[in-house]
A and B are shown apart, each in its own frame.
Chain A
Amino acid sequence: MTWRDILASGWDAIRTHKLRSALTSLGILIGIAAVVLTVGLGQGAQQQVSKQLSALGGNLLIVTPGSSTTGGVRGGFGSASTLTTADAAALTSSTAAPDISAVAPILQSANQSLVSGANNWTTTVVGTSPDWDTVRGRSLAAGRFLTAADESSAAAVTVLAPDTATELFGPLDPVGQTVTINSVPFQVVGLLTSAGSDSTTNLDDQAIVPITTAAQRIVGGTSRTSVQSIYIKAASPSRLSGAYQEANAILQLRHSITAGSTTDYSISTQQAVVQTTSKVNNTLTTLLIGIAALSLLVGGIGVMNIMLVSVRERTREIGLRKALGGTPSMIRRQFLSEASMLGLTGGLLGVGLGIGAAISLRHLITNPVAISVPWILIAIVVAAVIGIGFGVYPAARAARLSPIEALRSE
């Protein structure tokens, strides 16, 4: 008996009882479809999270000003900036902060009107250092980014995000054009590539200027050295906590904060926010996979049940096959192949249904749904293994039957 003969006899048995086989496969089908869909949702969420992470700039720490206490008057949170450009400069020290690879102080102003000829557009103007692109993980589509020379001379130059450039210049190349911000003509020196949006802001709609220029010409105010926040990029994800401790130590020293007193700044990681999101996602995914596994178990029991019925029904056939020279192991293989085909059929159809559902879900909900090829292959293998696993006992019973008893049965 070749494998081909064994598979043919398994397929024969399935075809003979079409409805019964279909219903049995349905159990596996639902389980596998649930697995494909669940993994798709989970991986989709994971991809979204990592996309957000990279949109934020990986390995990112954000220092924000806390409450300040001046002359006994305790100001509200963020009421006055306690952070300065000097703080930012101190954080770049490679000896005191070896785990910090780049630092970008931020001084930004929302709702600035940008004018170019007849076009005007209201957006956020971000004053920052030449390291901003590194820190935020942004790249340039055209031109150049801000330079140290721009910063030291407070040059009237700007780098535009793609949406802003399109609003102001349409299809024209913005590099080399002039845009007026707060009555000051700025030369456009660069264009950023698209980065999508994080949870709160459109990263593709902003104008980047040197922080010195922003302090002098756009934001104004009394203190020309204060900044609204400082973005810190750690050298690698594993060195993020080192970077955190170094930044904290430097700022404590600079702000004369002793043990026990409250800091006038806070350091947060965007990852903490993202991790919370992924934790929720993971919990949900685990729960759904648990349900899927349960339904696969039920499906497997269905396969076992039907296989036991099949063995009982075909006792005479088993007796005949033994009389004609079928050994116990050949009989066992025949029933195992039948069970695995039930599983496999359910698995293949389940994968089909899962993919179909994933594609239609993409149109119904905003969450991305991934279709993962390795997981689909795993699901198909799992379905066949469930068929075989739950077929072992019925097949063993068939193999054990005595040919005499089997031939005698009605």
Chain B
Amino acid sequence: MASPAVAIAEPRIAPVIDLHDVRKVYRTGEIAVEALRGVSLAIDPGEFVAIMGPSGSGKSTLMHILGCLDVPTSGNYWLAGEDVSDMDEVELADVRNRRIGFVFQQFNLLPSMTALRNVELPLAYAGVHRDERRRRALEALDRVGLADRVTHRPGELSGGQQQRVAVARALVTDPAMILADEPTGNLDSAASEDVLRLFAEVHGQGRTVILITHEPDVADRAARIVKLRDGGIA
């Protein structure tokens, strides 16, 4: 309990993620399940962190809160200096758009759109002008090595390539952190290796990367591993 508090007390650069005694309780009728029991965690800009834990450890709940997809029942969460714990749906949507680049296990690309338009999508929600959108999306696709695949639709790309498009989509808004939820869970070992190398590269360029995984060898790529057990940091 005391050690993370000490960490943030040190006079360093302000952390990009700062969780203070975050609790999450799910209520179904009479039964209340405490998924997170007072998690405090600070992640500095440019860190590469893996969050690990078996199923039921509160890993998904933490990912949802870190991703601003849900708000804590109690406690505080500062994301890049902004307190997001009490935000409403519309404010959260805006924070997700500006601050977070998601990468999902299922890629979650829209099948009817080309790679370019998939990458442009977060910029469209940000209200970026069309020409600017296109320029930045092309740049992001180039960065993940898919400059020659911009007009391909997801169905015409391999799993590894699809996940690279998703990474480009996460990078395009220049977010405070990349939040990857089991990004290799649907990939074979070669493609997994490929994607993990890409994350390392992205991290090397100074970005904050948070990997959520249950695979130890995936977590080993990160510079720091946070282990969850029974809704708390082990």
Contact = CB atoms under 8 A, between A and B. Distances in A.
B126 A320 contact: no
A404 B186 CA distance: 19
Interface in B93-113: 93-94, 96-98, 102, 104, 106, 108, 110, 112-113
Contacts of B106: 316
A16 B122 CA distance: 21
Contacts of A325: 93-94, 96-98, 122, 125-126
B122 A403 contact: no
B221 interface: no
22 contacts: A1-B124, A1-B125, A1-B127, A2-B124, A5-B124, A12-B112, A12-B113, A16-B112, A316-B108, A317-B110, A322-B69, A322-B96, A323-B96, A324-B102, A325-B97, A325-B122, A325-B126, A327-B89, A327-B90, A328-B89, A330-B125, A404-B64
A344 B123 CA distance: 29
A2 to B, nearest CB: 8
Contacts of A5: 124
Nearest to A5: B124
A255 interface: no
A15 interface: yes
Contacts of A404: 64, 69-70
Contact of B97 (A15, A319, A324, A403): A324
A325 B96 CA distance: 6
Contact of A326 (B64, B93, B108, B113): B93
Given A325-B93, A325-B96, A327-B90, 6 more contacts: A12-B112, A15-B112, A319-B108, A322-B93, A330-B125, A404-B64
A403 B98 CA distance: 17
Contact of A324 (B64, B90, B113, B125): B125
Contacts of A326: 93, 125
Interface in A306-364: 316-317, 319-330
A381 interface: no
Contacts of B122: 324-325
B187 interface: no
A8 to B, nearest CB: 9
Given A1-B125, A403-B69, A407-B104, A324 B112 contact: no
Contacts of A320: 104, 108, 110
A162 to B, nearest CB: 66
Interface string B158-175: 000000000001000000
Given A403-B69, A404-B69, A407-B104, A324 B110 contact: no
A13 B112 CA distance: 8
Contacts of A329: 90
B96 A324 contact: yes
A326 B94 CA distance: 8
A327 B108 contact: no
**Chain B: interface size category:** 20 to 34
Contacts of A323: 67, 69, 96, 102, 108
Interface of B: 64, 67, 69-70, 89-90, 93-94, 96-98, 102, 104, 106, 108, 110, 112-113, 121-122, 124-127, 169
Contacts of A330: 125
Interface in A350-393: none
A323 B67 CA distance: 8
A329 B64 CA distance: 22
Interface string A387-410: 000000000000000011001000
Contacts of A327: 89-90, 93-94
Given A1-B127, A317-B110, A404-B64, A324 B121 contact: yes
Contacts of A317: 110
A324 B98 CA distance: 9
Interface in A215-234: none
Contacts of B97: 324-325
Contacts of A316: 106, 108
Contacts of A407: 69, 104, 108
A2 B108 CA distance: 22
A12 B113 CA distance: 8
Nearest to B181: A407
A272 B121 CA distance: 67
Contact of A321 (B89, B90, B121, B126): B121
Nearest to B127: A1
A324 B96 CA distance: 6
Contacts of A324: 96-97, 102, 121-122, 125, 169
B79 to A, nearest CB: 14
Which of A2, A5, A323, A404 has its CB near the most chain B CB atoms (within 10 A)? Answer: A323
Nearest to A314: B110
Nearest to A317: B110
Interface in A119-159: none
A15 B111 CA distance: 12
A1 B106 CA distance: 25
A319 B69 CA distance: 10
B92 to A, nearest CB: 9
A320 B181 CA distance: 13
